[in-house]
Amino acid sequence: MFLFFGKKEPKPYHVGWLSVGSGHDIYYQQFGNPKGQAVLLFHGGPGGCGKAKHASHYDLKQWRVIMFDQRGCGLSRYSDLLKDNTAPAAVQDGKELLDYLKIKGKVTVAGGSYGAGLALLFAETYPKRVNRLILNSVFLMREQDARWVSHTSRLFYPDLIDEMRRQAGTDDIVSFYHRLIFSDKYKDLQQVQKYYAVYEKMLGKTEASFNETPALTDASIRFMRIYLHYEKNHFFVQENQLLQNIQRIQNIPTLIVHNRLDFCCPVEQAFDLHRVLPQSKLVIVPDKGHSSPLLFNVLKKEIKIMKI
């Protein structure tokens, strides 16, 4: 077990791998009560992984928390990292996992950040399988949302954005770093890590200085390859797809929790979603950063008072 915020992370009662085709075996974990209300949890990224601490947002005496590492992520296995590695494929994998675990009724679907976008995409694809949505730090996958990191955040970090533009020789810094991350040269990989990877992470932490460069590892390279693969391909959804298809989930109760000063995914995204979902509850947390102890404490409190 590991400690987080002074508590012990829960242990899964069941783990395994599920073959989903195209050379991918997704790693899954189950926590809590095997007979409890099932919640399918999508992790963030793209390129992240399922974390045991996220199961602790739920009362594990009542909930059955199911999470999986998306294709190429975490402990999932693959023969070709990016083959059929798309957002619709992640949604289909979630559905196949529920079927594999013989969960036939409606489930709660949850996710944070990019995972919140996947949760919405799942609900819009399989609305009859979803009884509620629990979302935090929402990312809607629109062009304006993606451009925030690589362009609009220049309002606060003009020197860093201009340096990346200088390196790229163009405003299209995503394509530039996408090319570098697939290089076989160490200096190219290090350049991605030093600039774009660090910038995206530090935005999420709302830090004013960018003096540290994390060590370049196989895991960090894989993360950025997946992340830039998705960003360059517009996250494999149509422009504004999630909001355009929102009528499919109009009657699904939805909890949305978002930090006020989230510099990775500005709170406008959560607000835009809330405005078009009549059955939604929006809680704006008076805190900063893409995630924080206060955000997760509020999320846990809101989940606790939900009727299941």
Give the residue numbers marked as catalytic. 113, 262, 290
Q: How many CA atoms lie within 13 Å of 250's alpha carbon, on the beta-carbon side?
A: 5
How would you classify residue 42: left for phi > 0, otherwise alpha for psi between -120 and 50, otherwise beta?
beta
How far from 125 is each of 130, 141, 185, 233, 242, CA to CA, in Å? 10, 16, 41, 20, 10
Matching residue, tokens 């846990």: 300
